Amino acid sequence: MLLRRWARALNERTVRVRVPTVYDVAEKAGVSIATVSRVYRSPEAVRERTRERVVEAARALGYVPSGSARGLASRTTGVLGLCFPDHADPAVEEGYREGEGPDEDDAAATLYSDQVIRGMERAARRHGYALLIAASLEDGPQSLVAQVAGRVDGFAVLARTVPTEDLELIGRRLPIVMLAGPRERDHFDHIEVANEDGLRELTRHLVTGHGLTRLAFVGGEPGSPDAEARFRGYRRACREAGLPVPAEPDARGDMTLAEGSRAADALLDRAAAAGTAPPQAMLFANDQMAVGALHALERRGIRVPEDIAVTGFDGIPLGRAVRPSLTTVRQPMRRLGEEAVELLVRRLAEPDLEPRSLMLPVRTAHRGSCGCA
Amino acid sequence: MLLRRWARALNERTVRVRVPTVYDVAEKAGVSIATVSRVYRSPEAVRERTRERVVEAARALGYVPSGSARGLASRTTGVLGLCFPDHADPAVEEGYREGEGPDEDDAAATLYSDQVIRGMERAARRHGYALLIAASLEDGPQSLVAQVAGRVDGFAVLARTVPTEDLELIGRRLPIVMLAGPRERDHFDHIEVANEDGLRELTRHLVTGHGLTRLAFVGGEPGSPDAEARFRGYRRACREAGLPVPAEPDARGDMTLAEGSRAADALLDRAAAAGTAPPQAMLFANDQMAVGALHALERRGIRVPEDIAVTGFDGIPLGRAVRPSLTTVRQPMRRLGEEAVELLVRRLAEPDLEPRSLMLPVRTAHRGSCGCA
DNA sequence: ATGAAAGCGCTAACAC
DNA sequence: GTGTTAGCGCTTTCAT
């Protein structure tokens, strides 16, 4: 270690602002670097007087342990990660900004991922972990996953964020838990929300609670697993209520406000053209579309809920702010994050456990747009 | 490096799941570790054929570069950090849950820090950084700051999260930007929000816009810099309007819903006891208290805004959801996060720049509770 | 209870 | 364009 010391001394003269290391602290405290390390890792293993000397030396020098060096030496980081999608849909953001300036920095603009982040952060903290978050970007050797995966002890991935192929590779290296969306890989831990149950219950509420029978369901694009699951719940409720069971949604949209408006208009126009009565309720696969529909209906002078009931799915803040407030199914997003951490921590402790798949329950929120408020 | 190889080989037989390293990839691709490294750091410096071989070997092995090792060797992490306070006030969370079940996982429960996080994440991503977040916990040698500081290239700290003494130490090691709150240390970059201007403008609106003259201001606890700045803005507006300028807030509260209710009651009781007319408007130092006041007033059968106007500060989502909706001053929280990243990136590039202090403008939101909706 | 020394997996000069 | 090699700052046996 002579060489090392020499290099350090040289360094001292060369570099502008020396970052203190264990060596500096050890020297100043008159102990070995091992002892300095112990003071931080297992203080009780060091005699009190010694420990004090070290702590004082560290303070005096402004020493902060290097996370990278620790991580490298100990093969753990004390950090959990979350990869979430970059909101591909600009209208999602716009939607929240209703009636406010265009460049508004609006506290109401809470996104799905915000809640998941908060949940994970909370739970991670309880377990002594910090949280590293990153939204998906481009790929390449420098991809998002690589950046995150290399710096954490385990991480969660929101559905459709990362190519499964990449996950497959990385999953061999550290624990991954998949959040929301169907269980694509049965060897990963996985958490989803009860999409089907939620829409089933909501539909049942409209039928038995409000006596509505002419319903219409507006689904997402065919590829969306969440929207499909919700549609299944709708069908199931229809069947159970003895109503006609549609093979396909009455309309589809890309989950945005604009498409919600369009779908509502289309449904109404279609009924008018066919000379049939319009639906008594429109159930949308998500809140954004439902709010869009609210706008469209208002434009047409159709009253909600008097003339028609409208429902969404998710429980976004905007749904509370609109009038009438939106009846919806609320997803436990924060809990999703919390459970993700629990699963990761569990697996870190016992890597050989069977992969688990959780289904989180949802809750319907009966508000104004179905006639409940 | 013989020893190294030998250790590896041994390792291979011992450890259950070998994590591939540059050495493995290099061997498989028939190149040196330096070349493997180059493929990831500067692909253009490697001949195409070689690069392909390496990439393929990496994929086959499931190789992911270790962030720790990289960080150690290169002395940079590609990560920025944020330390924010753990919401010491439980009522803050409760407040959002009005009218919902107690264990509700509510999307409306957006906190101040959520928006800052989102802003930072966005901006960080634009600059190629990931974001490490951690809420304050206890101290000790293993404190929050240490955990974060050791793993990032620079970080932001929300006011009153970390002892300034610690920051002082760490500030010598890497860039720190202080967010919200007064500028305590003039050698750190710093961003605050125009608290004073905001309340001045809001007060002026009540006076000139609505013709109110009997105002009451409810401040925070004496130690809160934000609340004090807001009070200064109130006083200034009073002075400019030729109204009496109070030396102290008419009441104080700890920024919670409950205290807002209490303060409103106290103000009204006091006026009744003194036989004087109640105020025409109550201005609160934050939204939570204002919403609490709304509840108290409703209980007393006092109409808002007909009998009395109520205003808050912050722009929390709850303020939109209550009836009447709350007139307030909205803080650009997301922008706070974005600007923090810009400052950090700037300083990383040029460490010797003068410390900067930004003041972000706020915007008043005239809604129902002042009589505007 | 403390010290000595061997790496952890990568980057960055520097050679070739 | 590619290989060699010396660390980066810490943790961790293994001695003492």
The pLDDT of residue A370: 97
Q: What confidence tens digit (pLDDT) does each residue in A213-223 have?
A: 999 999 999 98
B-chain CB neighbours of A39 within 8 Å are 141
Distance in Å, alpha carbon of A131 to nearest chain B alpha carbon: 5
Please enumerate in sequence order all residues whose Cβ is within 8 A of that of A292, keeping only pairs 6 or more positions apart, or say none: A95, A256, A257, A258, A259, A260, A261, A262, A263, A264
Overall average pLDDT of the A154-171 stretch: 87
A321 contact residues in B (CB cutoff 8 A): 317, 320-321
Nearest to A64 among B86, B130, B173 (CB): B173
Residue B141: pLDDT band by 50, 70, 90 thresholds? very low
Residue A132 CA to nucleotide C5 C1', Å? 34
- So what's the pLDDT on residue A184? 80
Neighbours of B159 (CB within 10 A): 18
Say if residue B116's pLDDT is above 70: yes
Contact A147 B332 (CB under 8 A): no
pLDDT class of B185 with cuts at 50, 70, 90: confident
Which of A146-150, A199-203, B184-188 reaches the highest mean pLDDT? Answer: A199-203
pLDDT higher than 90, residue B176: yes
Nearest residue to nucleotide D9, by CA–C1' distance, is A69
Instruction: Give the span between the Cα atoms of B264 and B244, in whole angstroms.
Output: 20
Q: Which pLDDT band, with edges at 50, 70 and 90, does B192 fall under?
A: very high
Residues of A in contact with B64 (CB under 8 A): 145-146, 149-150, 169-170, 173
Least confident of A162-176, A192-206, B77-91, B244-258: B77-91
Cα–Cα distance for residue pair A42/A54, rounded to 1 Å: 13
Q: Which residue of A has its CA nearest to B325?
A: A321
pLDDT for A3: 52
CA B55 to chain A, closest CA, distance in angstroms equals 8
B246 or B162, which is more confident? B246
B35 CB less than 7 Å from any atom of strand C: no
**pLDDT greater at residue B360 or residue A224:** B360
At A92 the pLDDT is 40
Check pLDDT > 80 for residue A321.
no
Determine the average pLDDT of the residues in B346-356. 91
Kindly report the length of chain A. Answer: 373
More confident residue, B47 or B184: B47
Pick from A50-59, A157-166, B279-288: least confident: A157-166
Q: Which nucleotide is nearest to A1 (CA to C1')?
A: C5
Q: A107–B169: do the CB atoms touch at under 8 Å? A: no
Do B62 and A173 count as a contact with CB atoms less than 8 A apart? yes
Instruction: For residue A309, report the phi and psi dihedrals to the nearest 5 degrees.
Output: -95, 150
Select the residue of B137, B315, B320 nearest A321 (Cβ to Cβ). B320
CA distance B304 to B73: 63
Q: What is the pLDDT of residue B244?
A: 96
pLDDT number for residue A9: 54
Query: What is the structure's pLDDT at A87?
Result: 59
Q: Within 7 Å: CB of A19 and strand D?
A: yes
- A22 sits within 7 Å of strand C by its CB: no
Any alpha helices (H) in B43-127, and if so which ranges? 48-61, 67-74, 90-96, 112-126
Give B27→chain A minimum CA distance, Å.
19
Taking the C1' atom of every nucleotide in all shown strands and the CA of A34, the nearest one is C3
Average pLDDT, chain B: 87
pLDDT at B251: 97
Residue with structure tokens 């670097």? A33
Asked if the Cβ of residue A258 lies within 7 A of any atom of strand C, the reply is: no
Answer whether any strand D atom is within 7 A of the Cβ of A160.
no
**CB A133 to CB B130 under 8 A?**
yes
Q: Which CATH class is domain B195-332+365-370?
A: alpha beta
The overall average pLDDT reported for chain A is 87
Q: Is the pLDDT of residue B234 over 80?
A: yes
Alpha-carbon gap: A41 to the closest alpha carbon of chain B (Å): 9
| Exposure of A98 in the CB half-sphere (CA atoms within 13 A) | 19
- pLDDT for A6 beyond 90: no
B368: left (phi over 0), alpha (psi -120 to 50) or beta: alpha
Q: Which residue of B has its CA nearest to A146?
A: B64
Of the candidates B62, B101, B317, the beta carbon closest to that of A172 is on B62
This prediction's pTM = 0.86
CA of A212 to C1' of C8 (A): 66
Count of A-B CB contacts under 8 Å: 210
Confidence of residue A8 (pLDDT cuts 50, 70, 90): low
